Chains A and B, each alone.
Chain A
Amino acid sequence: MDYFQIALVTLEATIRLSVPLILAALAGLYSERSGIFDIGLEGKMLAAAFAGGAAAAVYDSAFIGLLAAIAVSVGLALVHAFASITQRGNQIVSGVAINFIALGATVILGQAWFRQGGRTPQLDGDSRFQAVTLPFAETLQSVPILGPIYENLISGHFLLTYFAFAMVPITWWVLYRTRFGLRLRAVGENPGAVDTAGISVPRMRYMAVICCGILCGFAGAYLSMAVAAGFVKGMTAGKGFIALAALIFAKWKPLNVMLACLLFGFLDATAILMQGHALPLIGEVPVQFMQALPYILTVILLAGFIGKAIPPKAGGQPYVKER
């Protein structure tokens, strides 16, 4: 394999691996910019992956699977919203709870319904998302360099992949160019200002958390119905937490989120590729180190050694009207 091929494969894998991160991190962005911390991204994604895989298998429709994934994820998001907004509970605690409920419930329900050791039935045909080949991908194949780049990197992904990348500018636009975005950002910084402007703080936050649920639903659907052909026990494998790390690493900004997710996806891709290969000067890097790198980088960022990650000011605190 020549270097160009290696690069192509790595980048293709980077895109594939970063899609769930982008969707989940953007999900977290909506919630956290509104002042609701969410460490339950992992759980929502997992539950959505299960619901998607299960519904798609039963109804033999990827579309119904996607709807089910979103519905379940939004349901969990609403639990988080009820605990954090209505009951003014601890948002971290609520997030932890949701992660466990999802982790346990997906296995128990999966086993009870499908009896395949926590898996959902294999998806194929209509029940799974298929890769989309963009026009001319094959005709352009012979064009040197650009041809393969077009064929492998730009064409040939799932619809959900294009959706994920489209959500980045869309989220930016929503956040900075719409009324909803203005209020969302405001409610995460100073809910008092929103309240006195005659806007309901709980309503804004509920809406933000629902947005978070929807995107986590897409992320889960991508895992079980696009890259994989069905749900596997614990298949998120910490991706929700990497997404959370990426969100912090991106300082809660949409464009940065994409870059951070691509970086973390790239680290993941190279970790797999580099296994057993020595690097010049450094020698062989243990694969475990590469896997831990996103977390290490995030800690270094949080320590303030590469810029400062300042979370939304009202984040994590329930809003109480002052007397």
Chain B
Amino acid sequence: MSAPYAKLPLWVEYALIPLINLVVAFLVAGLVVLIVGESPLRAATLLVQGAFGYGEGIGFTLYYATNFIFTGLAVAVAFHCGLFNIGGEGQAYIGGLGVALACLWFDNIVPWFVTFPIAVLAAALFGAAWAFIPGYLQAKRGSHIVITTIMFNFIASSLMVYMLVEVLKPLGSMAPQTRTFADGGQLPRLDWLLSTFGLDIGGAPFNLSFIVALVAAFLVWLLIWRTRLGYEIRTMGASPSAARYAGIKDARVIIITMLISGGLAGMMALNPIMGDQHRLQLDFVTGAGFVGIAVALMGRSHPVGIIPAAILFGMLYQGGAEISFEMPNISRDMITIIQGLVILFAGALEHMFRPTLIAFFATLRGTRDPAEAPAAGG
């Protein structure tokens, strides 16, 4: 009996267990730091200082977190429907094409606030389009979405190289990237937001996308827990046969969910392209699509969990950069390890400490729970 519904207090279920998993992941990461001959404690101090110690650090932390909120939400929405969308990376990449095209067309004609909604729409549309085929194939032909989305990441990568090298690169330029957008293709930074807290953002590209990400998080919460579509998505995810019984059209819900998921992933491209680089470059996603998996797992697929999880990873990205200045043995690849460890402990091994905790709380109460669940069938 694996007791999936064994009762634990809510705060244990939603706060303590994720916390323990996280702590273990960081302890193992600390071990790696030890192996390369540095002090884990000092690394941790540097990390936190680098990420939160000063205005620019915070700006960068939130800038990275913006990416991860989008991709985390993308993964989470699909999770609710029982779909594992590993394709966030590719969808974000293609979403970048949408943003770039919108900016390239409009940046010289209209001010940024006109380009902005078009770019948001284009990002979402392009990302959604890239998620549509895997979604459609899962819904109509039963093709395993994990595999198809992995394949689509690689296809996206090839496609984008082609687009940048052969199509979008300005004549005479060597670098595979678009021209730099004019002012109409640049999002304003949020200096004022941090300066209200007395912080100087410095050169950090913390920009309007962050607000878009927060709005998206709220909308996702609304969608999943407060709308009919969300109800259908959750029913599909929890029990496809119950969904069929309830007259929920599974193919439709799967496809719509993937469109939303892909759209969210695509919107991630706003942040680096329109908010920071102001041009489309090769590999601008830099793994954010995959970080989304860790963020969604850590945040238990709930926006309230995803935002802090995204900020945590933002901290790792920013603080990690900071550490690498101070500790030559630790590059930003340390984040990749931590990311893997978080996925391992918060995802694949999420139940490892549960039996211990259940036993612990049982003894704490002094009595064993008069348990429920008379399972069917003798």
Contacts and interface: CB of A to CB of B under 8 A. Distances in A.
Q: Is there any pair of Cβ atoms, one from A and one from B, under 8 angstroms apart in the complex?
A: yes
A80 to B, nearest CB: 8
Nearest to A98: B340
Given A99-B340, A101-B337, A108 B32 contact: yes
Given A89-B351, A93-B297, A302-B143, A292 B337 contact: no
Contacts of A296: 151, 155
B336 interface: yes
A82 B344 CA distance: 11
Given A39-B150, A112-B329, A244-B147, A94 B32 contact: no
B129 interface: no
B177 interface: no
Interface in A73-105: 79, 82-84, 87-94, 96-105
Given A112-B37, A302-B143, A96 B2 contact: no
Contact of A83 (B36, B336, B344): B344
Contacts of B154: 238, 241, 292, 295
B216 interface: no
B115 interface: no
A109 B36 contact: yes
B40 to A, nearest CB: 13
Nearest to B342: A97
B155 A89 contact: no
B372 to A, nearest CB: 16
A83 B154 CA distance: 27
A235 B334 CA distance: 18
B221 interface: no
Contacts of A39: 86, 146, 150
Interface in A91-149: 91-94, 96-105, 107-109, 111-112, 118
B137 A302 contact: yes
Interface stretch (B52-60, B158-166, B254-262, B300-308): B158-166
Interface in B327-378: 329-331, 333-341, 343-344, 347-352, 375, 377
A303 B141 contact: yes
Interface stretch (A11-19, A187-195, A283-291): A283-291
A2 B270 CA distance: 51
Nearest to A320: B2
Contact of B329 (A100, A111, A241): A111
A311 B337 CA distance: 31
Interface string A234-260: 000010010011001000000000000
B326 to A, nearest CB: 15
A94 B341 CA distance: 10
Q: Chain B, interface size: which category?
A: 35 or more
A79 B143 contact: no
A278 interface: no
Given A100-B337, A100-B339, A111-B329, A79 B159 contact: no
A108 B331 contact: yes
Interface string A257-294: 00000000000000000000000000000101101100
Interface residues of A, number: 49
B152 interface: yes
A101 B341 CA distance: 7
Chain A interface, >50% SS class:
helix
Given A93-B347, A97-B348, A299-B148, A103 B340 contact: yes
B84 interface: yes
A323 interface: yes
A271 B350 CA distance: 43
A103 B336 contact: yes
Greatest chain A CB density within 10 A among B84, B154, B161, B330 is at: B154
B144 interface: yes
A291 B158 contact: yes
B162 A288 contact: yes
Nearest to A248: B147
A52 B357 CA distance: 40
A161 interface: no
Contacts of A302: 137, 141, 143-144, 147-148, 151
Nearest to B335: A104
B174 interface: no
Contact of A97 (B147, B148, B152, B347): B347
Interface string A52-83: 00000000000000000000000000010011
Greatest chain B CB density within 10 A among A104, A241, A304 is at: A104
Contacts of B171: none
Given A112-B37, A296-B155, A100 B161 contact: no
A31 interface: no
B350 to A, nearest CB: 7
Contact of B343 (A82, A84, A96, A289): A96
17 contacts: A39-B146, A83-B344, A88-B351, A96-B340, A100-B337, A103-B336, A107-B333, A108-B330, A108-B333, A109-B35, A109-B36, A111-B329, A292-B154, A295-B151, A299-B148, A303-B137, A304-B143
Given A83-B348, A89-B347, A245-B151, 7 more contacts: A79-B344, A96-B340, A97-B343, A107-B333, A112-B35, A286-B166, A292-B159
